[in-house]
A and B are shown apart, each in its own frame.
Chain A
């Protein structure tokens, strides 16, 4: 399988607050939020890559970078083997789409379903709309003229998915597509997404904070912590034998119907403005060593996955 998407050492920093002219005269330095800091990842054609992380870990920013909604500050981004820059931007945008977390706020409430779905086409094309709606399990005659508020949460999310597939995009970033849905609807939408993927040959980046959902849909998973990918690889090896201490404590924090005790890590996610030196997990890590607070661990190969931890880097 070839790499559909490949990023190398990508960085995205945001200004933490505006620097006015007076601040500049006073000699104040701009302060940055390091949302995505030096991340490398490749996504193979036809796979589902699960991106797991807590809020504020930069997973949505990474997703936005991959659909060119944000431009990286540095680093390289290849899509289908081509480097992404101004001349290839249109080509990339024709082939990527994104589905957002809250469908009620990502769809225009004043447009009808058929207008929403045809938005990426630039004109209303009822034939394509009907095809896309059928693929996501919506009835064209019943729903095409309704507005988002007249539909239930599961149906609105289906409309958002229909909008993503109407232009035959190859790569779709799904940003927590089911976290706003009830348990019974969640299973429906997840199954729909998996069916669509095999039917249309899509590639997904599936962003979620729910490990069980990631395990269900993904082929490979990447774990993000404080703007960095700390571990990624085949889901079986990452889930069955997590290597990074953060992944391990994340696993011990998920409620499961087989284990009554949760063992979360102590403390909180660090601020991205001023992350701890060295490994970003070191203040909360039970295995922290001297080197962890001094030098940042590189991503290395370890038992079928890549992991950034000094424990495995001898």
Chain B
């Protein structure tokens, strides 16, 4: 197993007491897996990504372990973790305009990535080879004139171009684990489709494990091999993408899939979309028992008093719901 997360808890201390944003997350992700992490906003998807890369603010209280290739990311000091960021774990952030340094050219930032890759491979820095590697990465991302892009500043590029530059950086660094936090939400459908295909190529060619965080289930279906559904900071369902989408077990997953406008559903012109009643809960004030119980159509007495465990229903499928216990 490449990435092993065990009992990961992330909380924040506030004047109202401790807020638990992630509770008991355990996940195993292998090389060449693409795992889609889906959930509504405020379900803790991004917090999970930031916890793995150790990018959480200092006020966060983190417990549990995150092992990548046998190294526990959470036990490393701030100095030691920088040696792992980039080549071991790499994160693509949601907003492309804040992910590059605005006062350095794209070339400068790509060469920096190339230098880090070479140094960590134990080679000495050779700028010509670094330049070639950067140009090749940009060519792989279908930039028609990479030399021009190398001289540009981030503000001169469009959102789609910057997101591809960040992906080029990932191509140069060849990370073991790539975390992509809604990397395409600022992009148009055609550019999004291009980027999705690039992710798949990256995964195939370099065996990079990818955590693809998104709120769009159709997009997660297209890109990933496995789907993890988060709600209120808990894993509600986990399984192969086809089985989860075709036969969702958890009522939340069922509702989530029923509410997505997806072309495959519109076989007749008068299909009506279902919506989930109510609002996602606030972390300040989580319901007792199962966190989905106030919005669940199948709610029973036990759901309100006791929280269900994440149970295995077969070798590759897990669900957190009293209906299956």
**Interface residues, chain A, with chain B CB atoms under 8 Å away:** 54-55, 152, 182-188, 190-191, 209-213, 215-216, 235-236, 239, 249-250, 252-260, 262-269
Contacts and interface: CB of A to CB of B under 8 A. Distances in A.
B215 to A, nearest CB: 6
Interface in B140-193: 142, 144, 158, 160, 188-193
Interface residues of B, number: 44
B307 interface: no
B261 interface: yes
B266 interface: yes
Contacts of A235: 269
Contact of A253 (B193, B262, B276): B193
A187 B273 contact: yes
A264 B41 contact: no
Across chains A and B, which 8 residue pairs bring their CB atoms closest together, nearest first?
Answer: A264-B193, A258-B264, A253-B193, A187-B275, A262-B193, A54-B188, A212-B261, A255-B222
Contacts of A256: 218, 221-222, 262-264
Given A249-B190, A264-B197, A190 B273 contact: yes
Contacts of A258: 263-264
Contact of B222 (A54, A55, A185, A260): A260
B275 A184 contact: yes
Contact of B190 (A152, A236, A264): A264
Nearest to B264: A258
A54 B273 CA distance: 24
B10 interface: no
B186 to A, nearest CB: 9
A14 to B, nearest CB: 18
Contact of B218 (A185, A209, A255): A255
Contact of B263 (A211, A264, A266): A211
Given A212-B263, A259-B264, A183 B196 contact: no
A257 B197 contact: no
B217 interface: yes
B275 A265 contact: no
Given A184-B275, A212-B261, A254-B263, A265 B216 contact: no
Given A256-B263, A264-B197, A183 B256 contact: yes
Contact of B245 (A187, A249, A257, A267): A257
Given A210-B189, A213-B261, 9 more contacts: A54-B191, A182-B40, A183-B260, A184-B256, A215-B261, A255-B222, A257-B245, A264-B192, A268-B191
